[in-house]
Amino acid sequence: MTRKEYEEAIERLNYLTKKYDEGCPEVSDEEWDKLYFECEQYERETGYADPKSPVNTVQFDIKTALKKVTHQGQPMLSLDKTKDINVLTDWVGEEECVVMAKMDGLTLRVTYEEGKLVGAETRGNGIVGEDILHNAMVIPSIPKAISTKKKTVIDGEIICKYDDFEEFSTMYKNPRNFASGSIRLLDSNECSRRNLTFVAWDSITDEANFLDKLATIEKLGFIVVPFEVVDVANIEAQQERMRKACADLNYPIDGLVYRINNTKVWLSKGKTDHAFQGSFAFKFYDEMYETTLLEIEWSMGRTGVITPVAIFEPVEIDGTIVQRASLHNLSIMRETLGTPYVGQKIWVFKANMIIPQIGKAEKMEDVENA
């Protein structure tokens, strides 16, 4: 990568990050991460980092009508990440770590004083987020009161489970976009109809270890993220087990988070402007299978909305035969397939091992220009 290519990549990454934060991602996580890792490698090899690089800084602005909130205490940073199992095992080393599901939604912090819910804010740029307390008050999985009078701050993720997402799938491409847009609604009555779930994964306390934090969070009445103590000797089997457990719960996830259990050791690792160094993310991607489009079928849902459905040559994914996938609406169909035609090559996957999706397609204009 040349310096010019690197600078263009940084500009592209920041644009894509902004679109993601707005709930309108233009590329897959895999494509974003590929560009990110290329920039990270360039910075490591050359020693040069653009001040606007998302490798070291969270880069999106907040452009909504919601009130801005500066995070008190611990900032809400991102995570360093890898898709290389060897890099992950080297990072874990001899430390006792906890592995938990990396929820695919929107990060949220809730605050309690005197046992009452008094604040709820999105991560935003890590320092400043958006005040969404009015919506937090109508989400059943966010307790309105807890049993301790001590000031309590809980971090977690707003998600929409796959089964709850079904009735909205004709309007939104995936549960992440839906959850991100829904929690930002100005109308809490509408938000309350959106079937959102808050899954907690951290508390801002000085407890001796992370497992104690998770136990405390659960006792306070929160849904706690699926987690296990890391088994380094069987790390890949453990990953598959956790992925299956999340699929059974209908949770959308895009990877796993590894965190040092001992709080003092975790704090001693410090942080960059971008990420805490005592935690690490492992990203996985759904494997895509090539097949052939046969036709577009039009299906009417319970609400009377007509939905395009791709019918394709049967393909086996995760032990089941798949031959159809929703295209949600006309706009998404055109974005995904271009002009669909019989014989079109498409690549299919199961989102989080559950919902068949078309990840990409060979478009007619690409064939004609080949």
Annotated active-site positions, please?
Answer: 102
Cα–Cα distance, 233 to 340 (Å, whole number) = 47
Q: Residue 98 is which amino acid?
A: V
Orientation of helix 85-92 relative to helix 235-248, angle to 10°: 100
Q: Residue 332 is which amino acid?
A: I
The two counts, helices (H) then strands (E), for the chain are: 12, 17
Q: Residue 352 is which amino acid?
A: N
CA 98 and chain centroid, separation: 19
Q: What tokens were used for 180?
A: 């991100």
14: helix, strand or coil: helix
DSSP H stretches of helix in 259-363 = 263-268, 330-337
Cα–Cα distance, 355 to 337 (Å, whole number) = 18
320: helix, strand or coil: strand
Cα–Cα distance, 258 to 282 (Å, whole number) = 8
Which residues have a Cβ under 8 Å from the Cβ of 53 and sit 6 or more positions away?
10, 13, 39, 43
CB-based contacts of 328-331 (< 8 A; 24+ apart in sequence): 328/169, 328/170, 328/171, 328/172, 328/173, 329/170, 329/171
For residue 259, list its beta bridge partners.
98, 279
Q: What tokens were used for 341?
A: 């035609």
Residue pair 164/197 in contact by the 8 Å Cβ criterion: yes
